[in-house]
Structure 1
Amino acid sequence: MKKIDIRNKRSLSCLVIVLLLTVTSCSDDYLDVDAYGKPVTENFYKTPEDMDQALGAAYYPMSEQYTSYQQVWSSDLFMGDIGTDDHLKGGLKLGDVPFLLQKQQFNLTPSNPYLEARWRIQFNGILYANLILDKIDAVEFDDAERKKELKAEAYFLRAYYYFYLVNFYGGVPLYDTALSFDEVNLARATEEETYAFIEEDLKKAIQDLPSRFDKGSEYLGHADKGAALGLMMRVSLYQNKMDQVKTYGEQLFMIPYDLVDLTSIFQPEGEWNTESIFEINYSSNTSKLGTSVPKQMMPRTPEDKGFGFSQIKEDLINAYETGDPRLDAYYYSISDSSIYGTGWYNRKYSWAPFSNYQKPTVGGLLNSEENVRVIRLADAYLMYAEAIYTTNPTTAIEYVNRVRTRARENGGAGNLIPADLPLTLTGDTLRDAIYKERRLELAGEGLRFYDLLRTGRASTVLSGLGFQSGKNEVMPIPYSQIQLSKGVLTQNNY
């Protein structure tokens, strides 16, 4: 897939921007769009090659989300874990990065710049996807199948960006086309309307996307049918639409995914393995094509050269049984009393000596090549188990035990931990076992806060950490966007 560098000349509104597209992987040619104040399409979006470049631009905000500072701190790998019972903000000291501390203490303000970064990134992606969907039908393709796939990828991307918004802010303005400056100021849709919009896009994506297993290695990085099905499972789960989780899960399981060795999932050799349903690609062979996630999470020592954010709380470490191989596979500890925090770190996003990823040598340490894992099969198995535990507990236990068996086998011959869940489990006891398994298997992947919210446990688990029911379920709408809308956008309970 081509990598596209998009820069904004002006940011009056997230959907009123100017595109500067630079193809970085193939040549130094570029298209410099010189109009000001609205998307310019008269001289672009004319050929299949244009549409391929436009697709690269539409993927760019997805990768931008995990780059430096405000962008990465507004991502779910930080906002989805910090402030929960799993992760501490970390950093140099308690007051380090006060805007991130607001999330830990559940006192976010509408002027927090990370809220603005998240809003801007997603709506940029929505604009780029809409420009493709607006223009592609008029473009003649020799390969009709590629045209269909490209359009389906745009639907996936628009759904992805809207999902990233609705989880965070609740209902947001819905744009199904690229609008001019004087049309762009729309009121917020409801949360239900936003989810319905996402589902319709994903249905279109599922219908026309191929499976990456039917494509060559050059397709890796593109959204495929499995990615759309996996995202639809998560979208359905967050709405408690368990029948849909079951339906789309069963379609996903017809694709030849398989669990892999526990210690390889988050390693270079594990990128796009058979457990991987969707990843965001990064490269460190060129400046600014990498991610800053490992740099942000590595220990703050002269040797490790990290910033020490999003450290693991003892409560999570203590949730594992002694002998569970995931404890060593997913975390590591540093004993240094001079470092602020718990001393426990996320091995899932690390570099040597704690993983096989090496420190980047091009573009600085914020330019790591490690792919961000968005959806993987173990998550899909546990979503499916949660969807069917009341109607088919035996099968639900089977899917949980697949995850536990994989973990156990990584402990070597004779290891008995974690044992299979007994087949006699039912009702709330089984439900709670599934909830716990999600925590143990998926910790550090940005899902904990949302799992607590959607299952109604946030008010209990997080109340002692500052969480307020009726307020902190969603984040503030950025103050800058309220101002730009001249009051059309309404604020959440902040």
Structure 2
Amino acid sequence: MYSMLNPINKATFLFLLSAHIMIIITQTSCQKLIEVDAPTTSITADNVYTNNLTASAVLTGIYSRISMNSITGNDLSAIGLITGLAGDELTLYAGAKDVRLRAYYQNNLATITSRIDFWANIYNEIYIANLSIERLNNSFSLTPGVRQQLLGEAKFIRAFCNFYLVNLYGDIPLVTTSNYAVNSTLPRAPISQVWMQIISDLKDAKILLSNDYVDGTLLKKSIERIRPNKWAATALLARSYLYTNDWVNAEIESTEIINNTTLYNLDSLNNTFLMNSREAIWQLQPVNFASNTEDAKVYILPRSGPSSSRPVYLSPQLLNSFEANDRRKTLWIDSVLITGMPYHFVFKYKSGALNAPLTEYNTIFRLGEQYLIRAEARAQQNKIAGSRADLNIIRIRAWLDESKLNQKSALLSSIYHERQVELFTEWGHRWLDMKRIHIVDTVMRNVTPLKGGSWNLNWELFPIPSNDILTNGNLSQNTGY
């Protein structure tokens, strides 16, 4: 992407370039009313992919948008907070004025189906990825290594976006072209077909992407872990196999990463979320002026406590799930005391102040998850000793006693619990886990009334925006909305 040795100049340049290119690409997706040849010196959708720098900026734009958007918004960056509110991880401040956040929190999205914007924003990134794949496949003026890396990144991003769409919405239109006329009338594809596309894209990306992290030229190695590489694709592939109950391949893919000790090792709890941590597999570099991660800006409570601008804190359900002496509770959670009442908040990212030194990057994939993926995949195959060993690696880092469990069912329950306290508020893990292991109904029937709402199992899927239902006659709404 770019070096942080001169963060404002280089970051601003690439961000503005990518934003300019995105405007052009978005405009060309609409019908052209007037055809005028562009000056040969201008950037157009046709010549973006003839130059290494401009072609790279298209994918950079996706990473920049995810990084810059507030986690209270409607884009990929908000998935951790929104699903944390919808599930059992976060509490919404009683005085919060955001109607949308309240609807997610009380599992009452039927009242705001016209304002569910994850759908549109994620499909926008898929459109850009599709256009990039099409243009890169027909571009022969780029440096071959650059073209290959960008193709890999585009397929990886498409898989990443589809992963969240299929998990949040169920059956979805499977968009693999930039042709608006085709895309605007697509029906919903079965979940199984979407998973096949995700896995196919990740297999391709794993071959195309560099083994190493690369810099802004895409040709030189970098210490920055901010552009997807082969191992980012492998991480999402391992997760995808886990979600589709392909235990053998989930174990194979996670093992590849765990065995790559040249690049990856578990870091200390204090260092896990630092920029270029040895545990990080893919991170997003901050692009907003004078700040670190958006997570820290939203989650860390000031001494005055929660407010409409800092409206969330940790739920009693999450706080009570930690075992005694779990260092994650003391190092990844902090609190403020307001009139004798403690408000606990997420403290994985610790630098939320403006103008603080750059120390943290938003971590999307990390090695800790891969150990838990392999532990679960091994347990499902009755590889009890290996599963327990992986689980204990995570427990020992948290200063907990080693598990001695020997039965598959008990071991799986322990792994699911460990995922809850290890991955809390990170990219929707808890919400998606509750659905895939079929405990969401049991948990939410107890939790939703405590949040002032009522629960219906249909609401484990989010509603499709009503505007899209109206404009696409082949698109149906999820049950219950």
TM-score (norm 2): 0.83
Q: Residue type matched to 2:418 in 1?
A: E
Residue 426 of structure 1 is aligned with which of 398, 401, 407?
407
- Structure 2 partner of 1:307: 309
Q: CA deviation at 1:182?
A: 6.5
Which is worse superposed, 79-88 or 118-127?
79-88
In the alignment, does 2:441 pair up with 1:459? yes
Contact 2:267/2:278 (CA < 8 Å) preserved in 1?
yes
Q: CA deviation at 1:261?
A: 1.0
Separation in 2, partners of 1:108, 1:194: 24
Q: CA deviation at 1:359?
A: 0.9
Alignment CA distance shift 1:338-1:179 (3 Å) = farther
SS of structure 2 residue aligned to 1:166: helix
Contact 1:296/1:306 (CA < 8 Å) preserved in 2?
no
- Structure 2 partner of 1:89: 92
In the alignment, does 2:30 pair up with 1:37? yes
Q: Residue type matched to 1:328 in 2?
A: T
Q: CA deviation at 1:216?
A: 2.7
Q: CA deviation at 1:384?
A: 0.8
- Structure 1 partner of 2:233: 228
SS of structure 2 residue aligned to 1:373: strand
Alignment CA distance shift 1:26-1:152 (3 Å) = closer
Q: CA deviation at 1:43?
A: 4.0
Alignment CA distance shift 1:319-1:37 (3 Å) = same
Alignment CA distance shift 1:26-1:376 (3 Å) = closer
- Structure 2 partner of 1:481: 468
In the alignment, does 2:263 pair up with 1:259? no
Contact 1:280/1:373 (CA < 8 Å) preserved in 2?
yes
Separation in 2, partners of 1:273, 1:437: 21
Alignment CA distance shift 1:60-1:126 (3 Å) = farther
In the alignment, does 2:233 pair up with 1:240? no
Alignment CA distance shift 1:52-1:191 (3 Å) = same
Structure 2: unaligned runs, 5 residues or longer: 4-9, 33-43, 215-219, 449-453
Alignment CA distance shift 1:77-1:218 (3 Å) = same
- Structure 2 partner of 1:345: 345
Q: How does 1:173-188 map to 2 (within 5 A)?
A: 173-181=173-181, 184-188=184-188
Q: How does 1:166-205 map to 2 (within 5 A)?
A: 166-181=166-181, 184-205=184-205
Residue 376 of structure 2 is aligned with which of 386, 410, 413?
386
SS of structure 1 residue aligned to 2:92: strand
CA-to-aligned-CA distance 1:233-255 (integer Å, 9 cap, x gap): 22222222222211211222232
Q: Residue type matched to 1:262 in 2?
A: L
Q: CA deviation at 1:209?
A: 1.5
In the alignment, does 2:474 pair up with 1:492? no
Separation in 2, partners of 1:370, 1:162: 27
Contact 1:275/1:376 (CA < 8 Å) preserved in 2?
yes
Alignment CA distance shift 1:326-1:218 (3 Å) = closer
Q: CA deviation at 1:185?
A: 2.3
Contact 1:152/1:208 (CA < 8 Å) preserved in 2?
yes
- Structure 2 partner of 1:70: 73
Contact 2:51/2:142 (CA < 8 Å) preserved in 1?
no
Contact 2:213/2:228 (CA < 8 Å) preserved in 1?
no
SS of structure 2 residue aligned to 1:185: coil
SS of structure 2 residue aligned to 1:81: helix
- Structure 2 partner of 1:281: 285
Separation in 1, partners of 2:352, 2:477: 43
CA-to-aligned-CA distance 1:11-44 (integer Å, 9 cap, x gap): xxxxxxxxxxx98335976556365725973343
Alignment CA distance shift 1:2-1:172 (3 Å) = farther
Separation in 2, partners of 1:281, 1:469: 38
Runs of 4+ in 1 over 4 A off after TM superposition: 26-32, 300-306, 467-470
Contact 2:152/2:204 (CA < 8 Å) preserved in 1?
yes
Q: CA deviation at 1:57?
A: 2.8
Separation in 2, partners of 1:78, 1:67: 10
Separation in 1, partners of 2:238, 2:276: 19
Q: Residue type matched to 1:245 in 2?
A: A
Q: CA deviation at 1:219?
A: 5.3
Q: How many residue pairs get matched?
A: 444
Alignment CA distance shift 1:382-1:313 (3 Å) = same
Please provide the CA RMSD for this pair: 3.1
Q: CA deviation at 1:427?
A: 1.8
